[in-house]
Amino acid sequence: MLRRHGELAQGETSFLLANRDGTRLASSTVQAAFGALRRIAEVHRTASGRQVPRMHDLRHSFAVHSLTAWYRRGADVQRLIPVLSTYLGHSDLEGTKVYLSMTPELLQQASLRFARYAEWGQHA
């Protein structure tokens, strides 16, 4: 069951993916469900492909896409990085840095932000 922020009963623990009783799903359950979804969607490794997508790959994509979207919207990225850490379940920023890969669009968005800052001398 997917939970939305604020949908907790008093004293209940929040897990992004939880059983009906609110307890955390076992990693093996999540991996098995993801494998079944890959098969249903017919996502297979090709002869030239490195491997099939993994749950871990989704975490990387989520982190980079979130960061890129924040830059696009003009959000205060430095303030939001700890939020990203929380989403990923990290207690500090060190664990989150592993998931942040530079993409052409992210580089472009960060460069535009810096150019506006350099030109106008303000946080853009």
- Express each pLDDT in 20-61 by its tens digit: 887 878 888 888 988 999 999 998 877 777 788 888 888 889
4 has a pLDDT exceeding 50? no
Unique residue bearing structure tokens 């989704």: 58
**pLDDT grade, residue 16 (50/70/90)?**
low
Task: Go through 2-40 and write b for each residue having 16 or more CB atoms within 10 A of its CB, e for each that does not.
Answer: eeeeeeeeeeeeeeeebeeeeeeeeeeeeeeeeeeeeee
Residues 79/105/56/41 CA torsion (nearest 10 deg) = 130
3-state secondary structure of 22: coil
Of the two residues 1 and 71, the one the predictor is more confident about is: 71
